[in-house]
Amino acid sequence: METIKPLEGKRILVTGGTGSLGQTLVSRLLRGEMGRPARITVFSRDEAKQHYMRLDYMHRDAATDDVIYQNSQDLLTFRIGDVRDYPALVAAMRDADIVFHAAALKQVPSCEYFPFEAVQTNIIGAANVARAISENGLPVETVVGISTDKACKPINVMGMTKALQERVLIEANRDCPTTRFMCVRYGNVIASRGSIVPLFVEQIRNGKTLTVTLPEMTRFLLSLDRAVDTVFAAVTHGKRGETYVPKVKSANITDVAKALMGDKDLPITYTGIRPGEKVHEIMVSEEECFRTIERGDYYVILPVLPELRDEDDTPPALSAEYSSKDDNISGTELRALLSSAGGEIERFIAGN
């Protein structure tokens, strides 16, 4: 059976490509597992991150990573710009076939203190992507918006703006009939910048007290590669207006701290909930259940607008919300999941 290569020969733009998800996505695109792209362009506003990302690919060891090394020389380009800046975004998208829209303000407390900044990046940035295609007749085939579980029943600014980002992109299917707009929604990425696991690792290394907000706090946990798997599943099998949600494990955050400690016995202190923070995360709400189906290892939320849905007699996959408070893992299973993050986290657990 021939393997599907939906990105073969495609010109790809990754907004926010210097972020944790963006860098993992670019690395896997360069491996060619979805087909060899014609070009990959990283579009972001941070020149320092672009500089170090460029150097990383220039200096990779060709003897051990020859596919990525060679492809990075041939395929990878960088472009400074901001999704808030409509003309810059139009220029970057003008010759793109596929757009992975990962640019975002994603730190919950930062968005609480600077809510309009989150509006401009997370909502207006997404609107600019759709507007660029609609107003300029750009030949973009597919747009995948990277969302978050915090967009489901949002109680913080980050989640609210991401929820609107989802709606902006899904609705864009009406105005851009030749472009397939989809979203992916997932939970806490284990090794991403600013997440709790790297913080715990740093606290344990320094023999400090571990800080947890509340004893009841739970989170979905997945590796960066699992997040990229979700993006690739949407590109390969997704239909216009769908939102892909991975089936992943969840854990109590105190158990995460204990799993990372291993044999060490460091104190844990509870600091209280942060501005805008949820106790439990939800990836599919009870209101979305009736239009959620299963597709392999994913739940797929069908579009909220009925005119974007195909006739489908598939029964709903869920009868209740998909929440991190349910079916938590701990112990050996949790340590194995944390190790799946690879890199520094995997080495830390192996040596601890």
pLDDT one-digit tens code per residue, 216-231: 999 999 999 999 999 9
Provide the whole-model pTM. 0.92
Q: Note whether residue 32 is domain-resident.
A: no
Q: Note whether residue 207 is domain-resident.
A: yes
* Residues acting as catalytic residues: 150
Q: Note whether residue 302 is domain-resident.
A: yes
Output the pLDDT for position 61. Answer: 57
Q: Which domain holds residue 268?
A: 81-350
Residue for token pair 């489908």: 312
Separation between Cα atoms, residue 123 and residue 132, nearest integer Å: 14
pLDDT band at 314 (very low <50, low <70, confident <90, very high): confident
Output the pLDDT for position 208. Answer: 94
Distance (Å) of CA 341 to CA 14, 142, 170, 215, 334: 22, 28, 30, 24, 12
> Where do the H-state alpha helices sit in 180-265?
196-205, 224-237, 253-261
pLDDT of 69 > 70? The answer is: no
User: What's the mean pLDDT when you consider all of the chain?
Assistant: 92
Output the pLDDT for position 340. Answer: 83
Distance (Å) of CA 266 to CA 40, 92, 197, 204, 211: 45, 49, 15, 8, 11
Q: Rounded mean pLDDT of 142-162?
A: 96
pLDDT one-digit tens code per residue, 46-56: 999 999 999 88
Give the tokens for residue 112: 């609480």
Q: Which residues of 33-44 are buried (b: 16+ CB within 10 A; e: fewer)?
A: ebebbebbbbbb
Structural domain count, the chain:
1
Give the tokens for residue 55: 């150097």
pLDDT of 289 > 50? The answer is: yes
Assign 69 to helix, strand or coil. helix
pLDDT of 181 > 90? The answer is: yes
pLDDT band at 341 (very low <50, low <70, confident <90, very high): confident
pLDDT one-digit tens code per residue, 1-33: 456 799 999 999 999 999 989 999 999 999 999
Output the pLDDT for position 1. Answer: 44
pLDDT band at 311 (very low <50, low <70, confident <90, very high): low
Give the tokens for residue 314: 């598939």
* Contact of 227 with 191, CB cutoff 8 Å: no
286 Cβ contact partners less than 8 Å away, ≥ 6 residues apart: 320, 321
Q: Rounded mean pLDDT of 108-114?
A: 92
Q: Note whether residue 37 is domain-resident.
A: no
Q: Note whether residue 212 is domain-resident.
A: yes
Q: Rounded mean pLDDT of 144-171?
A: 97
pLDDT band at 192 (very low <50, low <70, confident <90, very high): confident
Separation between Cα atoms, residue 44 and residue 55, nearest integer Å: 16
Give the tokens for residue 206: 């320094």
Residue for token pair 């709400």: 285
pLDDT band at 344 (very low <50, low <70, confident <90, very high): confident
DSSP letter for each residue of 255-304: HHHHHHHTT----EEE--PPTT--SS-EEE-TTTGGGEEEETTEEEEPPS
* Contact of 77 with 40, CB cutoff 8 Å: yes
Q: Note whether residue 273 is domain-resident.
A: yes
Q: Note whether residue 31 is domain-resident.
A: no
Separation between Cα atoms, residue 6 and residue 4, nearest integer Å: 6
Q: Note whether residue 41 is domain-resident.
A: no
Residue for token pair 């284990």: 190
CATH code at position 271 = 3.40.50.720
